[in-house]
Amino acid sequence: MRIALPTPTMNTMNIEEFSKKLSEILSAAEKEFRLADSSHLAVVRAKFLGRKGELAKVMRALGSLPADVKPEAGKLANNTKQKLEKIFAQFEPQKISVHKKFDPTLPGRKPAIGGIHPLEWTLRKMVDIFYGMGFSVASGPEIETEYYNFDALNTPEDHPARDIQDTFYLQKPGYLLRTQTSPVQIRVMESQKPPVRIIAPGRCYRRDAIDATHYYTFTQVEGLYVDKDVTLADLKGVLTAFAKQFIGKNVRVRFRPHFFPFTEPSVEYDFSCPVCDGKGCRVCKGTGWLEISGAGMVDPEVFKTVGYNPDEVQGYAFGMGVERIAMVKFGIDDIRLLYENDLAFLEQF
Ligand SMILES: [Zn+2]
Over 70: is that where the pLDDT of 323 sits?
yes
Whole-number Å distance between alpha carbons of 5 and 13: 11
pLDDT digits (tens, 9 = 90+) for 35-53: 887 778 888 888 888 888 8
Find the 283 Cα to ligand 1 centroid distance in Å: 5
Alpha carbon of 248 to ligand 1 centroid (Å): 14
pLDDT, position 173:
92
Tell me, in angstroms, the distance from the centre of ligand 1 to residue 254's CA: 15
Average pLDDT in the 172-199 region? 94
pLDDT band at 2 (very low <50, low <70, confident <90, very high): low
Task: Give me the mean pLDDT over the 202-214 stretch.
Answer: 89
User: Collapsing DSSP states into helix, strand and coil, what is residue 291?
Assistant: strand
Which stretch of 41-55, 129-143, 151-165, 171-185 has the lowest confidence by average pLDDT?
A: 151-165
Does domain 118-346 match CATH 3.30.750.24?
no
Q: Is residue 139 over pLDDT 60?
A: yes
Question: From ligand 1's centre to the CA of 324, what distance in Å?
Answer: 15
Distance 288 CA to ligand 1 centre (A): 5
Q: Which residues contact 144 (CB under 8 A, 6 or more apart)?
A: 175, 176, 177, 178, 183
How far is the CA of 80 from the CAs of 55, 85, 246, 309, in angstroms?
8, 9, 79, 100
* In the chain, domain spans: 15-101, 118-346
Residue 247 CA, ligand 1 centroid: distance in Å? 13
Q: Mean pLDDT, the chain, as a whole number?
A: 87
CA 320 to centroid of ligand 1, rounded, Å? 20
**Spacing, Cα 290 to ligand 1 middle (Å):** 8
Q: Is 164 in a helix, a strand, or coil? A: coil
Cα of 327 to ligand 1 centre, how many Å? 14
For strand 143-145 and strand 314-321, is the pairing parallel, antiparallel, or unpaired? unpaired
Q: Range with the lowest mean pLDDT among 83-87, 93-97, 117-121, 191-195?
A: 93-97
Q: Give the phi and the psi of residue 330 in degrees, each rounded to 5.
A: -100, 0
User: What integer pLDDT is reported at residue 99 of this predicted model?
Assistant: 56
Expressed in angstroms and rounded, the spacing between residue 280 Cα and the centre of ligand 1 is 4
* pLDDT, tens digit, 9 for 90 and up, residues 266-281: 999 999 998 888 899 8
Predicted TM-score (pTM) of the model is 0.66
Helices (H), the chain: 15-35, 41-49, 54-60, 70-91, 93-101, 118-132, 146-149, 182-191, 232-246, 300-306, 322-330, 343-346
> Ligand 1 mean position to 231 CA, how many Å?
30
* pLDDT over threshold 90, residue 197: yes
Would you state the pLDDT for residue 5?
47
CA of 330 to the centre of ligand 1 (A): 14
Query: Which residues, in sequence order, are CB contacts of 345 under 8 Å at separation 6+?
Result: 337
Tell the burial category of 54 from Cβ atoms under 10 Å away from its Cβ (0-12, 13-18, 19+).
buried
